[in-house]
């Protein structure tokens, strides 16, 4: 049993209106000091075996085919 994390973020050149809306709201709520916000997705995958290289390769394939749309998104895979 292992937990693997896949983080998926929009590529930097793609507009992120959600992140922007949050960044715009912050000063209105009295928060200063944040210059930009980007919003992405985080997936927690529980594996039924150990998070060895083979398993991680499999998760990378899952991320590339399903969890991220690589036309607009980048992803990273890591063990927690």
Partner 1 sequence: MSGARVGVVTFPGTLDDQDAARAVRHAGATPVPLWHADRDLKGVDAVFLPGGFSYGDYLRCGAISRFSPVMEELIPAARKGLPVLGTCNGFQILCEAHLLPGALTRNAGLRYVCRDQRLRVENTATVWTSAFSPGQEIVLPIKHGEGRYVADPETIAELEANNRVVFRYLGNPNGSLNDIAGITNETGTIVGLMPHPEHAVEELTGAPSLDGRGIFTSILKHLVNA
Partner 2 sequence: MNARTGTDMDSTHTDGQVSTQVSADSRAGGFVDTVERAARTPDEPQPYAELGMKDDEYARVREILGRRPTSSELAIYSVMWSEHCSYKSSKVHLRQFAAKAPKSDALLVGMGENAGVVDIGDGWAATFKIESHNHPSYVEPHQGAATGVGGIVRDILSMGARPVAVMDSLRFGPIDAPDTARVLPGVVEGISSYGNCLGLPNIGGEVAFDPCYAGNPLVNALCVGLLRKDRIKLATAPGPGNKVVLFGARTGPDGIGGASVLASATFEEESQAKRPSVQVGDPFMEKLLVECCLELFEADLVVGIQDLGAAGISCATTELAAKGTGGMRIDLDLVPLRDPSLRPEEILMSESQERMMAIVKPADVPAFLEVCAKWDVPATVIGEVTDTGRLVMTWRGETIVDIPPGTAANDGPVYERPYHEPADQAALNADSPRRLPRPGDLRATLLELLASPNIASKEWVTSQYDRYVRGNTVLAMPADAGVLRVGDVVPGVAPEAAETRRGIALATDGNGRYARLDPYAGAQLALAEAYRNVAVTGARPLAVTNCLNFGSPEDPEVMWQFAEATRGLADACRALGVPVTGGNVSFYNQTGSVAIHPTPIVGVLGVLDDVAKRITPGFPEAGLRVVLLGETFEEFGGSEWAWVAHGHLGGLPPRARLDEERALADVLVTGAARGLIAGAHDLSHGGLGVALAEACLLHGVGCTVATPGDDAFTDLFSETTARAVVAVRPEHFDALVKLCAVNDVPYQTLGTTGGSSLTVEGVLEIPLPELRDAYERTLPAVFGD
By the rule CB under 8 A, 41 interacts with partner 2: no
Tell me if 79 sits within 8 A of 53, measured CB to CB.
Answer: no
By the rule CB under 8 A, 7 interacts with a second copy: yes
By the rule CB under 8 A, 48 interacts with a second copy: yes
Phi-psi region of 30 (alpha: psi -120 to 50; beta: other; left: phi over 0): left
Residues engaged in binding partner 1 (CB under 8 A): 10, 13-15, 17-18, 21-22, 25, 28-29, 39, 66-67, 69, 71-72
Mapped onto helix, strand or coil, the DSSP state of residue 71 is: coil
Q: Which of 1, 17, 32, 80 binds partner 2 (CB under 8 A)?
A: 17
């Amino acid at each position: 049993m292992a937990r693997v994390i896949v983080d998926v973020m929009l590529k930097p050149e793609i507009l992120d209106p959600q992140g922007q809306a949050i960044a715009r709201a912050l000063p209105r709520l009295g928060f200063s000091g944040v210059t930009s916000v980007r919003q992405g997705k985080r997936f927690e995958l529980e594996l039924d075996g150990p998070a060895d290289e083979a398993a991680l390769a499999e998760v990378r394939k899952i991320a590339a085919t399903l969890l991220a749309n690589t036309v607009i998104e980048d992803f990273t895979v890591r063990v927690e």
